[in-house]
Chain A
């Protein structure tokens, strides 16, 4: 009961903060779009190669954009000791994690939804497979980045050089998520004649389940230290 109430309160609070800071969200979107553009320049005018690797470039752009979003996730709690206030209010660390990570997952999903058409235009790809599969991979992929990202955001919130520390810790951990999301997105875009989508969805969901089950239990120790 309390866990659910507090989770909803933290989730709503973070969405409000994201809404008030929508100029920052727009900057993150511009950053992601710039990464997509730069990758297309790096590959050159070979449209076949661009289209073939578009899912990978899309997820790299989203991963880099997520670092900016995640850096902010706990900055808002530490810049005026708001986290201390939440702890004095006896907020369950699991509720704090679930509320913040869910809000981050929603933010990343919106960012991904905004980047999809940009990637489609730059790389000249369309959805020839399944929109539903694309949505599923985007949502599960965003959730897979949000859970460990929120935990590491808490760990590095007060660290010097947190902008460097966060990706250094996060990137190795999310390789399986990235792999499954890229493969799944490619199948969703190009079609899935071999029926591989369910297995990649299973891989992604399994990693999400592990992250979302374990990370809430670790946050208490992280913020106490």
Chain B
């Protein structure tokens, strides 16, 4: 493993206390380092575009940030010491749904797990917002991939986490779904969530997000403004 010399994507000292602090975050599978020496600081209301080719380590980094994987090396701190741990929400490649249950039941169960009161009216309005109006009782098994992604979006909004992790959120969405995702991303940032998005659609999201991090072979190869990520990737492709 080679530790990267690149700085964290958010080094502005005036930024508020970070919700995510990763220091030399690394994960090895067998003898291959999927993520190696990633440094990251992200505060509430800040967003990070995670870019890189297939196998660059984007999904593994998101899984580390979500707590689904334990780092092989390095540290990850969520929230300030002595404060309640910030909540995390993830939209991954797969829906994370129970196939025999309906969308409304998913929202009801999530509310119970989080110890919240379930409001059927609010849940129905949320499903209508993500385009699942009238489909709340249908088993998820009967959903298309795009509908499953819309349910993931509804569950994320319902959970209302402090840290939002999105892994290829535009995948499987149609035109309307893409516009919905754009609106939700902008809303989440406006509501002071710390948002990390891994996507190949860098041209589509570069101007919507603030910070950019390009991974290559699990290592940080570039950090800077998200708006510059498309040019950086294009340059990388030209130089092979």
Residue ranges of A at the interface with B (Cβ–Cβ < 8 Å): 2, 5-6, 8-10, 12-13, 16-17, 20-21, 76-77, 79-82, 84-91, 224
Contact = CB atoms under 8 A, between A and B. Distances in A.
Nearest to B63: A84
Given A84-B68, A88-B88, A21 B100 contact: yes
The 8 closest A-B pairs by CB, nearest first: A85-B96, A9-B112, A20-B100, A81-B94, A9-B113, A13-B109, A88-B90, A5-B115
18 contacts: A5-B112, A5-B113, A6-B113, A6-B115, A9-B109, A12-B109, A16-B105, A76-B98, A76-B99, A80-B97, A81-B95, A81-B96, A84-B68, A87-B67, A88-B67, A89-B110, A90-B85, A90-B88
Interface string B43-79: 0000000000000000000000011101000000000
Q: Among B89, B114, B140, which residue has the most Cβ atoms of chain A within 10 A?
A: B114
B96 A82 contact: yes
Interface string B132-173: 000000011000000010000001000100000000000000
Contact of B113 (A16, A21, A86): A86
A85 B140 CA distance: 15
Contact of A91 (B88, B98, B113): B113
B22 to A, nearest CB: 17
B101 interface: yes
B49 to A, nearest CB: 21
Given A16-B105, A87-B68, A88-B89, A79 B99 contact: yes
B112 A20 contact: no
Contact of A76 (B100, B148, B155): B100
Contacts of A8: 112
A9 to B, nearest CB: 4
A129 B113 CA distance: 43
Contacts of A21: 100
